Chains A and B, each alone.
Chain A
Amino acid sequence: MNNIFVYCEVTEERTIADVSLELLSKGKKLAGALNVNLEAVVLGHKVIKPESLLYPFGVDVIHYADDEKLFPYTTLPHTSIIIDLFRKEQPEIVLFGATSIGRDLAPRVASALRCGLTADCTSLEIGDHFENKTQTEYKNLLYQIRPAFGGNIIATIINPETRPQMASVREGVMKKEIYSVKYKGKLNKIDAKAILKDDDFAVTIIERHLEKSRIDIKNAQVIIAGGYGVGSKENFQLLFDLAEVLGAQVGASRAAVDAGFVEHERQVGQTGVTVRPKLYIACGISGAVQHRAGMDQSAQIISINTDVNAPINQIADYIIHGNVADIIPKMIKYYKKNSK
């Protein structure tokens, strides 16, 4: 009763998604602070060794439903099983990955249980709350911290009255950490067939395949853009590496596109796309007026350039004097070191 639950997403390879392992690591810390158990929910079919994979993260109970109708994921069967489980187990906190699956499932579950849900949290903490209006003190609530209003404010959300307190978190936000390789929990098998009804199969999958989405830099919150100064297609890979780590998109100046470093879809500027990200990191871009026209509304601009007099530096918030190949690996290193 009143434990912390993590919905563990099953991947194409029938193992558990990284984001879920990250949430188990965070969940274990929260469970420690509250002195409760950590429980994992795994709904799938022929999942590869869930026990030996999950126990080392400090999981006390794995609730596992193994049924061919649970893989690949569809909304209604997963919702029905989770609701049934939560009504019995009464979790205190439930965490979901903010993925295509988690963001489809969690709101439906929250609506059925009439509990609060906060999407895309960037930080989760335990804390108290005093409600002035009712003079009520609430102990050990989950602080769900997330950006809102297009990233212009950071809100701390709480659910004082309702349980479970539910939150979703994107991949890469929490740190994946083994708790103890010797840790052992127990397995609770769920009989899916006893719970699922015909109505749960209103939606059926006809076809599914992997397909890359089109490049979309217009809506990116963070853009790592490269210019001719990046020097080569190989060096551009560094920009992709940083983008991957930051969850950003890669953009480019016209000169970089003309040189064949990247696709035309990534071009920022007058003949490309106009962007207004929260952060624009211009790497080896001199900043011709045509380029600046497409990005000067960015909220923050960092310029990395060997030329201190590059025109882009006039509109930059930070100017890093130096070589892209030298600086980007450092940015990746220190982002990883400080972000968790």
Chain B
Amino acid sequence: MRFRIIVLAKQVPDTRNVGKDAMKADGTVNRAALPAIFNPEDLHALEQALSIKDKLPYAEVILLTMGPTRAAEIIREAMYRGADQGFLITDRKFAGSDTLATSYALSLAVRKLAPYHLVISGRQAIDGDTAQVGPQTAEKLGIPQITYAEEIRSLDAKKIIVKRRLERGVEVVNSTLPALITVHSSAAPCRQRIGKRLMKFKHARTVTELQNETKDYTELYTERPYLLIEEWSAEDLKADAVSLGLSGSPTKVKKIENVVFQLKESKSLSNSDKDIEKLMQTLIGSHIIG
């Protein structure tokens, strides 16, 4: 039997690249200046899956992501690095999902891929930093979770031994399979693209992407069916409408404030108590610290 590993990944705006140019004059985020990237810790998760595949030839790695059509980019990226296959969960009905509604959709997609042995994701995504989707998906699947994984020590068809990175130390745990693992940024970085795989998968497209292509790829896709990236809608997942998107999300955003970064000339302060206190109040007030 195949050893099936499902990697959960997200395409995110690169919030780490918020330099001075990424803020507009009015102090709001200039989203256009932020490139969409493969969430960094999800790449660490992919590496863990691929390194299992290196050791177990009968293992297969499937990338699962939820997002707009554009998110297919990270499926291709995963294929270039060694993933066998990918699925895109995409539907307007998922818009506005919080972590609970997201984990609901992901858990349905994972179930559709059963029997599976391991689900691996990054610990958290850099746009939200909640670290909630992994544990919530595990709960919905009714499987154990191992968070903050740094290294998979060993595994067989029934159990896995994982080293976890905690705040003040490390822990080595043994879990039954299937299980869900979230990978910490201290784990091994992901391998680079492989030239041969890049050639093989560069034309991989979702149905929606194909519709937007000017060239006719019908023949290519008949010959090479592995190039088609399947899209799953809410209906394909047999999702319960009230558990999706905004209606399935118990958390609502009441208010959003932009952190205003001043683009003014530098201010000179003295070392007086008054100046230092004022500076600390400004920093705390703008939520840069505290």
Residue among B20, B147, B186, B284 making CB contact with A338, cutoff 8 Å: B284
Across the interface, B165 reaches (CB within 8 A) one of A111, A213, A248, A317, namely A213
Q: Are B276 and A334 in contact (CB under 8 A)?
A: yes
In whole Å, how far is A156's beta carbon from the nearest beta carbon of chain B?
Answer: 4
Size category of the binding interface on chain B: 35 or more
* Structural contact, A276 and B18, CB atoms closer than 8 A: yes
Which A-B residue pairs are the 10 nearest by beta carbons?
A150-B15, A322-B271, A116-B250, A111-B139, A116-B251, A107-B132, A111-B136, A107-B135, A162-B250, A297-B19
Complex alpha-carbon distance, A100 and B184, angstroms: 11
B255 contacts partner chain A, Cβ-Cβ < 8 Å: yes
Question: B258, A317: Cβ atoms under 8 Å?
Answer: no
Query: Given A207-B171, A276-B18, A299-B20, A222 and B129 touching (CB < 8 A)?
Result: no
Residues A318 and B254 in contact, CB atoms below 8 Å apart: no
Chain B interface: which of A181-189, A262-270, A323-331?
A: A323-331
**Which A residues from 140 to 190 make CB contacts under 8 A with B?**
143-144, 147-162, 173
Return B281 CB to nearest CB of chain A, in Å: 5
Q: Whose C-beta in chain A lies nearest to the C-beta of B123?
A: A103
The number of A-B residue pairs with CB atoms under 8 Å apart is 256
User: Which of A112, A117, A321 interacts with B271 by CB under 8 Å?
Assistant: A321
Chain A hits for B289, CB < 8 A: 222, 246-248, 279, 335, 339
Give the docked Cα–Cα distance between A116 and B135 (Å).
Answer: 14
A residues within 8 Å of B by Cβ?
Answer: 12, 72, 74-76, 79, 99-100, 103-108, 110-112, 114-120, 122, 129, 143-144, 147-162, 173, 202-211, 213-214, 216, 219, 222, 246-248, 276, 278-279, 297, 299-300, 302, 308, 313, 316-323, 326-327, 330-331, 334-335, 337-339
Closest to A150 in B: B15
B90 within 8 A of A: no
Q: Are B100 and A149 interface neighbours, CB within 8 A?
A: no
Main secondary structure of the interface of A (DSSP, over half): mixed
Q: Are A156 and B29 in contact (CB-based, < 8 A)?
A: no
Contacts of A208 in B (CB 8 A): 169-172
Docked complex: B245-290 residues within 8 A CB-CB of A: 249-259, 261-262, 264, 266-271, 273, 275-277, 279-281, 283-284, 287-290
Contact indicator per residue, chain B 51-77, by CB within 8 Å of chain A (1) or not (0): 000000000000000000000000000
